């Protein structure tokens, strides 16, 4: 079994959009902190939402650098079922490194809320003014994106 880099951005976005949760890692004073979050992809940004207070909100205001992960697939695979080291989980994983930007503009917050809901439902939604004003909208501006596929079958070169 081997690991293969995924280079095609369309394939990377397909992995992201197939996931329901992303994991957002942040750090403050050299103390790591990871949270599962709902998200939406918006071009070269990832949209997140939260309360406008609490540990995450305060941490991101002090250190806006984050790393995010999406993982798709959990199928167990092996080359030899009797050899523990030959076992792998067949999956695809995307990593994003970026910088947080806080969204304050009402219209942009509402647009982002619609994008978030589109990630999870085909239904149309309405948001009342207090909900839009009181939600915290975070954009992670993507600076680096990479993806890998794990547990693929090794290709054996033809020997003549």
Task: Catalogue the E-assigned strands of 64-121.
Answer: 65-78, 87-103
Q: What is the pLDDT of residues 63-90, one digit of tens each?
A: 999 999 999 887 776 676 776 676 677 7
Name which of 138, 153, 13, 142 is nearest 72 in CA terms: 13
The angle at the Cα of 20, spanning 143 to 153, to the nearest 5 degrees, equals 80
Tokens coding 159? 């020997």
Q: Is the pLDDT of residue 143 over 50?
A: yes
SS3 134: helix
| Residue 49 near residue 138 (C-beta atoms within 8 A) | yes
Residue 159 banded pLDDT, cuts 50, 70, 90? very low
- Listed in sequence order, the residues at least 6 apart from 57 whose beta carbon sits closer than 8 Å to its beta carbon are 50, 51, 136
Domain parsing of the chain, residue ranges: 2-142
Residue 95 banded pLDDT, cuts 50, 70, 90? very high
Lowest-pLDDT range, 41-45, 57-61, 69-73, 83-87?
83-87
Selected from 2.30.110.10, 3.30.70.260, 2.70.98.10, 3.30.420.40, the CATH number assigned to the domain covering 2-142 reads: 2.30.110.10
Mean pLDDT for the chain? Answer: 90
Residue 92 C-alpha from the chain's centroid? 12
Q: What is the pTM of this model?
A: 0.86
What is the average per-residue pLDDT within 18-44? 96
For residues 44 and 79, the model is more confident at 44
Q: Is the pLDDT of residue 3 over 90?
A: no
């Amino acid at each position: 079994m081997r690991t293969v880099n995924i280079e095609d951005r369309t394939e990377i976005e397909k992995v992201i959009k197939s996931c329901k949760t992303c994991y957002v890692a942040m750090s403050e004073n050299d103390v790591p902190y990871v949270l599962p979050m709902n998200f939406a992809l918006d071009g070269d940004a990832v949209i997140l939402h939260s309360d406008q207070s609490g540990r995450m909100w305060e941490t991101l205001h002090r250190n806006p650098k984050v790393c995010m992960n999406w993982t798709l697939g959990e199928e167990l695979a092996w080359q030899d079922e009797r050899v523990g080291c030959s076992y792998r989980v067949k999956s695809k994983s995307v990593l994003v490194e970026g910088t947080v930007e806080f969204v304050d503009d009402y219209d942009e917050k509402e647009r982002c809320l619609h994008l978030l809901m589109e990630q999870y439902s085909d239904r149309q939604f309405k948001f009342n003014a207090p909900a839009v004003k009181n939600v915290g909208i975070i954009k992670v501006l993507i600076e680096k994106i990479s993806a890998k596929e794990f547990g693929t079958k090794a290709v054996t070169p033809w020997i003549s």
